[in-house]
Structure 1
């Protein structure tokens, strides 16, 4: 981030520098004052003033690095104090809600989760349980969140957190942002789960160095989030990412969205269960264990998942041709697929995608964040405004 221009007022310049420094520590971790000066393009006296001010406020501390090299006095590291800025992250899934209090720097201070069933999946039930669990976390950790981020598997209007439709939850026209803000007592920002997965991978996962990427998430449904030129691709009104509902098989299976032949009917969790000869309501843990067992027998993997991998590659070819990402990150159940199958899909995409061949091959990798990706993304969504007010 560049230094403020010469016309900036002193107070605005100080606020800009403070926010830039905090974001650097939050995203990339502890470093020395000299490193901060170099990376932020500020002189040492300015860095000293900002760090000293943050230290006096208890937002950062300085410490001797645990690993020392060379002779002489080591440079002190500037570290963020996790509890000096805390956000509440909420990840609403079809089968579960996960919540965490997250401190600056991305440290998870405490978490809570519970399973959802058909009778407990109603918006009012979920909102009440979120409010109760948030208070339990506050009491247990003796912290109060300064921001709230929420991930939902549906079509979300980012301006106010209005859920137009979340088919796999059975939600339509739910004022989730407004209702959570009312019961939690502070503004709640709501985002599509796959978009927040992309944000998480870009900030803390496999895509930290990528400027153009697509994150694909497979759960009961399939969603996608994109980063273009280092910024989230959000579309009109924030409605974007329903890649699981592109038509791939005309006249195919009925989809939750009301259409037929959507991509998620061929590569979502129920499709994966069918391919493995399991009931469509097989528990997630059993399904993941079955997938991991296939890694030891590639031949069986090809036999059972050959058609599945074909549909996965077909959708990826379309996505790569349309968006031309340098990186595709596979999350949730996609990240549990056998490595050999993912390599086969990668080769198919390279062979069949005009864009992938033109750019020398789009990288396709599995998410290192696992099931926490959307929770991490929800926390980063909440931190965006918070870092400017610490």
Structure 2
């Protein structure tokens, strides 16, 4: 936990401590006052004052734990109250949009999703549908939203949510953050989908407890999010994570980005279809079914594995992560293939050998990963204001 700067006023210190306590409860769940004092490095009287104030505001509640031990007075659990602070999470994909209203503590209170095709993929249509669906869902649940987090498969300027380009959506220069903010009237944060996936895995998934992580996801395209020393790596203007467009095969296929032989042309969804002898554009379910039907030792994906390995080696050499998390379609890859990639990375990556090995694991969050990450993106500023 960071400490307040020297000379901070008492009210600033209280606000800092209050936010730290709320974040601890939001991410890690119910805890006793004693545990909170130890983990946050605060004395018990400070924790008591903070918890009492939050309880009076209805943001937390205290109760006796169901499982009790010992004969003495039980320590009360401090629990975040989900409806005390609710955010909207939006996951925009090439083929569908999902929204969820998520309460303090990460509980999904309600959700909706719809498919995109033809005209419904246009920015105006997507924005209108998000706004209308959010209003209906909020009325049904009788909750107020404090902020919005949006995941987009494209190059996004983090300062204002401006989508410079989302090639697979055919979006260019879309002021998504400004338009949603003006309509919904709450703070909006927009991020690249892979960056948001990395955030979700770091806080609530396979990368929980890891400080240096790269999350790589395969959909129509391939993207990556980087957690370095416990914080998201964002680059100039927030533009980072387009590792799907690193060139791995100069003699390869043309990519929609204007280059040739990008990694996503070798390991993205269309590449999976080719490797599995499926028509390009086959339903997602058919691709997943074929991947999961492969038996250990099957060499159908040998060439695919080669390119996946090369890309992961480059990632490990560039970012030195202790963990690489594979998301979206990559989670359907056979376990023996993922293990084989890990072995090759250990042999061929100078950095992996230097740090004692890099683990490669599938995501544990399933289809909700981007929604979870979008909610966490929205909660970042909200926890300091509720």
**TM-score computed with the length of structure 1 as normaliser:** 0.97
For residues 272-314 of structure 1, the C-alpha deviation after alignment (integer angstroms, 9 at most, x for no partner) is: 01111111111111211221111xx2233x2x10100110000
Partners of 1:3 and 1:158 in 2: CA distance: 26
- What's the secondary structure of 1:299's corresponding residue? coil
Mark the runs of 5 or more structure 2 residues left unpaired by the alignment: none
Q: Distance in 1 between matches of 2:357 and 2:380?
A: 33
Q: How far apart in 2 are the matches of 1:261 and 1:130?
A: 35
Match of 1:386 in 2: 382
SS at match of 1:373: helix
Q: Deviations over 1:172-226 (max 9, x none)?
A: 1111111111222222110000001111111111111111110001000000000
Q: Distance in 2 between matches of 1:286 and 1:66?
A: 45
SS at match of 1:298: coil
Task: Measure the CA separation in 2 of the matches of 1:345 and 1:5.
Answer: 45
Shift of 1:7: 2.6
1:147 corresponds to: 147
Name the structure 2 match of 1:286.
Answer: 286
Cα distance in 2 for residues equivalent to 1:343 and 1:2 = 37
- Matching of residue 193 in structure 1 with residue 175 in structure 2: no
Write the distance in 2 (CA, Å) between the matches of 1:187 and 1:159: 12
Hey, what does 1:298 align to over in structure 2?
Answer: 296
SS at match of 2:105: coil
Cα displacement string for residues 255-279 of structure 1 (whole angstroms, at most 9, x for unaligned residues): 1212111000000001001111111
Question: How many Å separate the matches in 1 of 2:172 and 2:211?
Answer: 34
Look up the match of 1:316.
312
Establish whether residue 342 from structure 1 lines up as the match of residue 338 from structure 2.
yes
Residues 125 and 278 (structure 1), Cα distance of their counterparts in 2 relative to 1, 3 Å cut? same
The count of residues paired between Structure 1 and Structure 2 equals 386
CA 1:283 to 1:72, structure 2 compared with 1: closer, same or farther past 3 Å?
same
Cα root mean square deviation, aligned = 1.1
- Distance across 2 between alignment mates of 1:263 and 1:104: 38
1:61 aligns with 2:61: yes
After TM superposition, where is structure 1 displaced by more than 6 Å over at least 4 residues in a row?
none
> 1:363 aligned to 2:359?
yes
**Cα distance in structure 1, aligned partners of 2:297 and 2:353:** 28
Q: Distance in 2 between matches of 1:211 and 1:35?
A: 22
Residues 78-124 of structure 1, C-alpha deviation per residue, up to 9 Å, x if partnerless? 00000000000000001110100000111100110011113211101
Q: TM-score, normalised by structure 2?
A: 0.98
Q: How does 1:78-157 map to 2 (within 5 A)?
A: 78-157=78-157
Distance 1:327 1:245 in 2: 21
Give the Cα–Cα distance (whole angstroms) in 2 for the partners of residues 104 and 82 of structure 1: 4
| Deviation per residue, 1:234-257 (Å, 9 max, x gap) | 000000000000001113112121
Question: How far apart are the structure 1 equivalents of 2:70 and 2:334?
Answer: 45
Structure 1 pair 186/6, CA: closer, same or farther in 2 (3 Å)? closer
- Unaligned stretches of 5+ residues in structure 1: none
Q: CA deviation at 1:69?
A: 2.1
Q: Distance in 2 between matches of 1:7 and 1:251?
A: 60
2:315 aligns to what SS in structure 1? Answer: helix
